[in-house]
Amino acid sequence: MRFGIIGTNWITERFIQGAIETEQFALTAVYSRTEEKGRSFAAQYHQAEVFTDLQEMLEKGSIDAVYIASPNSLHAEQAILCMNHGKHVLCEKPMASNAREMREMVAAAEKNNVVLMEALKSTLMPNFKVIQDNLFKLGPIRRYFACYCQYSSRYDAYKEGKMPNTFNPQFSNGSLMDLGIYCLYPMVTLFGKPDLVKAVGVMLPSGVDGEGSLVMRYPEMEGVVVHSKISNSYLPAEIQGELGTMVIDKINQPYDVKIHYRDGNVEDLTKPQIHEPMYYEALEFIEMIKHGERDSKVNSHASSLAVAEVMEEARQQIGLRFAADEA
């Protein structure tokens, strides 16, 4: 599968490492705003063609699909342009700035009969399937709890008066979008969209949220999500049932899954993972294209839209607005 990439950063490198392991991936085009950076990046991967004009890459590049890892605010425009040129799109999370953009992206995918998938790695990793397959052992489920708090490597620069993209609302960033989604997407995939969302957050002077919490209501359970880019947490995720509690080491990258039953027994469900974390999303995406499928059964359009709607509701409650919301 011939890929073009948009975005020459560390996450793109991680994706390429995982995608190469599928043995069905070829990097044939690189889009970068500067030719120097594009050539430096492409040189690591057998000199793929370099473009500084996205339209030109889509028209002249030898590509079947595009992986997008640009700033969040650019995802929708770039993805729709790619799909209108008949290219399949794997787009980094969060796939859109808001629910309106998400609907426009899904419409473009359907119009052009191409694959559009959100690149949320955790729900496609082997131990997420373990989580799905063993929920029944918990009895009636009463609470989903997930926490992803990671002190940003760019926060010190921000406190020194600089404005890195990750703390800039012009790029549709902040804690909820960057980290909270890792907690919300698995919840929606497992239990659907909640009936009610209540959110609080700590807003930074730049206009993005540094941290926040969400409590969500389902008919017979609740969801609790905690996220932060200005502090660390070492808590695992839990799915609490009346018969036992499933404990997941990291909701953003599940490697270890156990059930602690009420009687004191512990069942280790962990499945060995032999590939790079992003291998599994690359494989899902490529296999869908090969078999003529257009919507992932896991990272589906419906799940992506539901998560976008939950995040938009949470943003409205904490006063987090993006330039993309004004479009």
253-309 pLDDT, tens digit per residue, is: 999 999 999 999 999 999 999 999 999 999 999 999 999 999 999 999 999 999 999
Residue 198 scores a pLDDT above 90: yes
Indicate the pLDDT class of residue 111, thresholds 50, 70 and 90: very high
For residues 327 and 91, the model is more confident at 91
In this structure, are residues 3 and 19 in contact, taking their beta carbons and an 8 Å threshold?
yes
Percent of the chain with pLDDT over 70: 100
Residue 260 confidence (pLDDT)? 98
- Whole-number Cα distances in Å, 125 to 156, 226, 290, 308: 32, 22, 20, 21
Residue 222 scores a pLDDT above 80: yes
CA distance 325 to 97: 8
Burial 247-282 (b: 16+ CB within 10 A, else e): bbebbbbbeebbbeeeeeeeeebeeeeeebbbbbbb
Tokens of 27: 């990097």
Residue 232 confidence (pLDDT)? 98
Residue 45 confidence (pLDDT)? 84
Number of Cβ atoms within 10 Å of the Cβ of 62 = 12
Residue 47 scores a pLDDT above 80: no
Residue 117 confidence (pLDDT)? 98
Residue 78 confidence (pLDDT)? 98
Residue 52 scores a pLDDT above 90: yes
SS3 50: strand
> How confident is the model over 311-319, as a mean pLDDT?
98
Residue 46 confidence (pLDDT)? 78
Average pLDDT over all residues of the chain:
97
> How confident is the model over 63-83, as a mean pLDDT?
98
Indicate the pLDDT class of residue 214, thresholds 50, 70 and 90: very high
Residue 256 confidence (pLDDT)? 98
DSSP state string for 215-230:
EEE-SS-EEEEEEESS
Query: Over the stretch 137-161, which tens digit does the pLDDT of each residue have?
Result: 999 999 999 999 999 999 999 999 9
